[in-house]
Amino acid sequence: QVQLVESGGGSAQAGGSLRLSCAASGYTYSSNCMGWFRQAPGKEREGVAVIFHSGGPINYATTADSVKGRFTISQDNAKNTVYLQMNSLKVEDAAMYYCAAAIVNSRYSCGLGIDKFPYWGQGTQVTVSS
């Protein structure tokens, strides 16, 4: 059974930083796709960043335009953990952040669409004050 547990959410001021972590259990494949999504009140869930691990030394990341240059996704393959480093936070970044995972065979199948991800964590809240 796949379990994803997020941590690291909290409050920050605009311009500040937070780091989210997502630990995966029951999910170990030669190739995988993990990502971060967010949902603000009254808005649809949207993709923030995803990362594809092919089993080799290189991971491939895709980041939404709205956070490009500010957020960085990374993965510790040995720990089966994915991170989201969030810098230069803006008020509009405030949302519930969810970790998600999928089993794919190609980096081109690892995208920001939520329908590609069958496994989800419970979410961690991020609040940004001005």
Over the stretch 31-53, which tens digit does the pLDDT of each residue have?
A: 689 999 999 999 999 999 999 98
Question: Has residue 21 got a pLDDT over 90?
Answer: yes
Question: Has residue 121 got a pLDDT over 90?
Answer: yes
Per-residue confidence (pLDDT) for residue 29, from 0 to 100? 66
Per-residue confidence (pLDDT) for residue 111, from 0 to 100? 94
Tokens of 52: 């594809």
With the CA atoms of 39, 14, 128 and 23 taken in that order, what torsion angle do they form, in degrees rounded to the nearest 10? 70
Per-residue confidence (pLDDT) for residue 30, from 0 to 100? 64
Count CA atoms closer than 13 A to 75's CA, side-chain side. 27
Assess contact for 34 and 82: CB atoms under 8 A: yes
Return the percentage of the chain with pLDDT > 70, whole number. 97
- H runs (alpha helix) in the chain: none
Query: pLDDT tens across 72-90, in order?
Result: 999 998 888 999 999 999 9
